Structure formats: C-alpha cells, structure tokens
Chain A
Amino acid sequence: MQTKIQKLRKERRITQSELADALDVTRQTIISLENGKYKASLVLAHKIAQYFETTIEEVFIFEEDENLC
C-alpha cells in the first residue's frame, strides 16, 4: 500500500524519528510505511491521520488490486 506519509512529513519538516516518537512506534515502522512495505493497522492509520490533521484517505492510497478478502 502506498502512502503520502513521506510527503506530509517533509512538508512539515519532521524527521522519521520525531514522527516515530509522536506515534509511539519505532523508526523502522515509519520507514517501512513510507516504502509501502508494511500496512498500518486501523489504529495506527488513525493516529497518523490525526497527527497530520487530515483523513486516513488522504494519507493512505488504497489500490484496487488490494482485494478486501
């Protein structure tokens, strides 16, 4: 799953470590989210959206081939 985390983070001049600290996750989790290697849980997605003061849909790009089953 692709995300706009890196873009939003850079716009706000926040480092990966600062974002990780704010969300109570490891820096590696932020790296994996930005690279699209890891899919955030609903709780983490909500926390990220809240942190950037936006909606989950604005941060995470849901691709059609990622089926719902």
Chain B
Amino acid sequence: MLGFFCRGTYTGNEEYRKMIQKRIRMWIWMIVAGIFTFAFAFMMQTYGKADAQEEMISLYEGFGVGLVGASIALIIKNKRLLKDEEKLRKARIAAADERNAEIAAKAMRIAMIVLLVGIYFVMLIGGLWHPELAWALSDLIGLFLIAYVVAYKIIAGRM
C-alpha cells in the first residue's frame, strides 16, 4: 500500500534519493514538533494556569510521544532504504507507478467522503450538547471547501 505522501514522478534512483533525504529532514522537524507538544503539555500540567483538563493534557502528551516515536521509526526505515539500492529502486517504482497513484487517488476520494459525512453527523448530533463543537466542525468543512476551490484553481492554471 502506498502512503499519502509517497506519490510522485521520479525518473531515477538519484531523484528519489533526494526526495527521501528531504522526507528525512521533514521527519526531524516532526520530532521537534513532538518534543514541543510534549513539553508544552508537561509545562501546562506542572506550571500552567490554563483551565485544561487532566485528560486533555494526557492526550497532548500522547500526541507528542506518538509524533516522536513515529518519526524515529520512519527515519530509520528511510535511512535503511537509502543504503539498499535494490530496495530504493523498488520503492521508487511503487511510488511512481500510475496504477498505484490511481488507486491512492480513488481511496483518498472515498476516505474524504466518509470523513465529511462523519464530520457532518458529529456536528449535527454533538452540536445539541456542545454548540461550540458544531461551530468548529462547520468551520472545518468550510476550510476544506475553500482549500479545494483554491487548490483546484491553482492546479487548473498550471495545466
């Protein structure tokens, strides 16, 4: 299965290698973000005066640890890939394969519909008890639609 951000058109191993190196740098930034998230939650728990619930603090700490853990695992995986020319070639072909790209695009479209329907129902039902939830989710749907229109216009202009 091809990951969300793994698709692209790579003509050779060198081009793909550069992209992997960029991706490793991105995961390093994710580790920084994870440490920051964890530290922020920890500081809020220890010194903070914010009216944050204990379970939310734990959730943020979990996000931070999860980001760091996942990033380290992905860095190790990608570093191994860089050392093995044959595995790199296979990964490049899988990432650039047009059938894989079409499958991923269709899966993404279905997941997006499920997500939007899910958000709609959570907004509709959850909003009865927590109106702020309905507002936040309707804003998210609005953001999604605006992002889609803007991205569509930009891409259409380039094609």
Contacts and interface: CB of A to CB of B under 8 A. Distances in A.
Interface of A: 20, 24-26, 28-29, 32, 38, 40-41, 43-44
A29 B99 contact: yes
Given A29-B97, A29-B98, A29-B99, 11 more contacts: A20-B93, A24-B96, A25-B97, A25-B98, A26-B97, A38-B99, A38-B102, A40-B98, A41-B98, A43-B98, A44-B98
4 nearest CB pairs, A to B = A29-B99, A26-B97, A25-B97, A38-B99
Interface residues of B, number: 8
20 contacts: A24-B93, A24-B96, A25-B93, A25-B97, A25-B98, A25-B99, A26-B93, A26-B94, A26-B99, A26-B100, A28-B99, A29-B97, A29-B98, A29-B100, A32-B99, A38-B102, A40-B98, A41-B98, A43-B98, A44-B98
A33 B85 CA distance: 27
Interface of B: 93-94, 96-100, 102
Nearest to B94: A26
Contacts of A26: 93-94, 97, 99-100
B19 to A, nearest CB: 16
Contacts of A20: 93
A58 B138 CA distance: 53
Contacts of B98: 25, 29, 40-41, 43-44
